[in-house]
Amino acid sequence: MRRLLTIFSLYFQQALQYRSKALVYFLLSLVNCTVLLLFWNAAAGETTTTVGQGFSYMLSYYVLVLFVAACSMCYVENSVSFFDIFRGDISRYLLQPLPYTMVKLFQELPWRLMAGTCGLIVLLTVRFVTPSMHLLHDIPHLFLFIVSLVLAFLLSFYFKMIVGISAFWITSITGIQEFVQVGVIVFAGFMAPLSFFPPLLQKVANFLPFPSMVYIPVTILMGDISIASSLPMIAVQLAWLGGIMAMYQVMLRRGIKTYGGVS
């Protein structure tokens, strides 16, 4: 554990050195959410959206999406595919006593903490300016949100690791990345709440892991659903996490055999 904390400390220092880069990425996400909010406001007139939700609700939703995504959405696939596999750095990791996956996890954590801090600042600022913001007000909901957020982060991490280690078998993961990105934008709730979607698309979303990465924690954090309704959502996250982790472990073992030239 001490070695993992050392890795976390070293990469946290690296994240601080590149904080301007992290800030630019966060500002891009902030601009995207602002544009979507303005779009919904313009499409619906002055106060009410096409599905009966007010501007305050949509403002709350996009601010919380910004915060949750900053905390949970990982972008580890590029370093895994290019540095670890194409450049061969994974050989160094495999010779270390620490598990490769744990090292990558603790490398990613500082970036999520930094981005999450930026998201929290925006959230608190909007909350101060807009007291009517839709946000949970009780400890049980807050506890469930924290659990859901941790599961969302782990699910995003292992899913992106799968995208990254697919480089064991293909020369470029760009196509997979773009396909995944489209799925995330549409079905993780970045464009709009999934409850706004037609019934057919809502059913499609139920069979995908993307809502568990952002939309479910946001729904819980808004406090619009009961604790009893939150528990099945968390159970869905757990199920997806278990399945993705199992798939990742199988792919990693086979990928390392392929990388080492073992049939």
pLDDT tens digits for range 55-102: 788 889 999 999 999 999 999 999 999 999 999 999 888 888 788 999
Length of the chain counted residue by residue: 263
**Residue 248: pLDDT over 80:** yes
Residue with tokens 């924690």: 217
**Residue 260: pLDDT over 90:** no
Query: CA nearest 212: which of 143, 148, 136?
Result: 148
Structure confidence at residue 45 (pLDDT): 61
**Residue 49: pLDDT over 50:** no
Domain ranges across the chain: 2-259
Question: Global pTM?
Answer: 0.90
Q: Is 261 helix (H, G, I), strand (E, B) or coil?
A: coil
Q: What is the 3-state secondary structure (H, E, C) of 36-66?
A: HHHHHHHHHCCCECCCCCEHHHHHHHHHHHH
Average pLDDT over residues 44-65: 72
| pLDDT band with cut points at 50, 70 and 90 for residue 133 | confident
Average pLDDT over residues 113-134: 89
Residues 6+ apart with CB under 8 A from 262: none
